[in-house]
């Protein structure tokens, strides 16, 4: 899969420019007030996941957390290694930390 072209600054990229981010994820983020890459970069994936679950009234699949982790990492680093742009990279990290069904923070 070819990575979408990433421009240098967060302000010049849209959420859809981030790998692993599709229209459903963009809608989930918009529902909780995150509409730009710059806003996303300032957020924590675990917090985003919990907020989406709270706002929707549904406990989403934990893979959504991994999608958020991939998106936040890309928002913070436009030159992130391509393998770290895929949500399943972050799923492996979460599982390795022993938190298969739990949220986690990138601030740990």
pLDDT digits (tens, 9 = 90+) for 47-73: 999 999 999 999 999 999 999 999 999
> Tokens 């983020």 correspond to what residue?
29
Handedness of CA 52, 53, 56, 58 (dihedral sign): positive
Q: What is the pLDDT of residue 4?
A: 44
| Contacts of residue 51, Cβ cutoff 8 Å, sequence gap at least 6 | 32
Q: What is the pLDDT of residue 11?
A: 57
Q: How far is CA 25 from the centre of its chain?
A: 8
The superfamily in CATH containing domain 10-96 is 5' to 3' exonuclease, C-terminal subdomain (1.10.150.20)
Looking at the predicted structure, is the pLDDT value of residue 84 above 60? yes
- Going from N- to C-terminal start, the domains of the chain cover 10-96
pLDDT digits (tens, 9 = 90+) for 13-53: 999 999 999 999 999 999 999 999 999 999 999 999 999 99
């Amino acid at each position: 899969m070819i990575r979408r072209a990433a421009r240098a600054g967060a302000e010049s990229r849209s959420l859809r420019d981030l790998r692993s981010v599709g229209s459903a994820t963009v809608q989930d983020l918009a529902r909780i007030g995150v509409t730009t890459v710059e806003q996303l970069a300032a957020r924590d994936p675990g917090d985003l996941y919990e907020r989406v679950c709270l706002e929707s009234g549904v406990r989403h699949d934990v893979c959504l957390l991994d999608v958020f982790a991939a998106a936040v990492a890309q928002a913070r680093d436009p030159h992130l290694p391509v393998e770290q742009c895929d949500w399943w990279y972050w799923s492996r990290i979460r599982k390795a930390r022993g938190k298969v069904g739990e949220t986690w923070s990138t601030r740990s």
